[in-house]
Amino acid sequence: MSSSGLPEIPLKRYFTISEVSTLCGVKPHVLRYWEQEFTELRPSKRRGNRRYYVREDVELVRQISVLLYEQGFTISGARKQLAPQLKEIPMPHIVEGLKEVLAVLS
């Protein structure tokens, strides 16, 4: 367990929505809602529209959770708080996106 009471994030490449839910203490329907509200939170979708999150997504969900539930920000306020640090798109998201495009084109 980490200092915040949440379990450590395992060294895995991908996480399912239920794993992220457990790791972040947030219900799956909340994660799906946050995907609509925070454009930076974009898990890969594969077979059957199943979501696959990467470590950066899990860390972002934890940040959003702290801003909303512990610090009392609104969704709009949380977006503004996250904006400066999210200006750069994390490299794994770019690579994943390119792999998905390549798979579609193949």
Distance CA 25, CA 84 (A): 25
- In the prediction, which pLDDT does 2 show? 47
92 burial via Cβ count (<10 Å: 0-12, 13-18, 19+): middle
Q: What are the tens digits of pLDDT across the range 19-65?
A: 999 999 999 999 999 999 998 899 998 888 899 999 999 999 999 99
The CATH architecture that domain 17-105 belongs to is Orthogonal Bundle (1.10)
Residue 8: pLDDT over 80: yes
- In the prediction, which pLDDT does 3 show? 42
CA separation, residue 105 to residues 48, 51, 94, 101 (Å): 18, 20, 17, 6
Domains of the chain: which residue ranges?
Answer: 17-105
Mean pLDDT taken over the chain: 86
Q: Which two tokens stand for residue 33?
A: 């809602």
In SS3 terms, 13-57 reads as: CCECHHHHHHHHCCCHHHHHHHHHHCCCCCCEEEHHHEEEECHHH
Instruction: Tell me, rounded to whole angstroms, the distance of Cα 19 from its chain centroid.
Output: 12
* Residue where the block lists tokens 């934890």: 62
Residue 71: pLDDT over 90: yes
Query: With pLDDT > 70 as the criterion, what percentage of the chain qualifies?
Result: 87
Q: Which two tokens stand for residue 80?
A: 């503004």
Task: Indicate whether this model's pTM tops 0.85.
Answer: no
Higher pLDDT: 63 or 104? It is 63
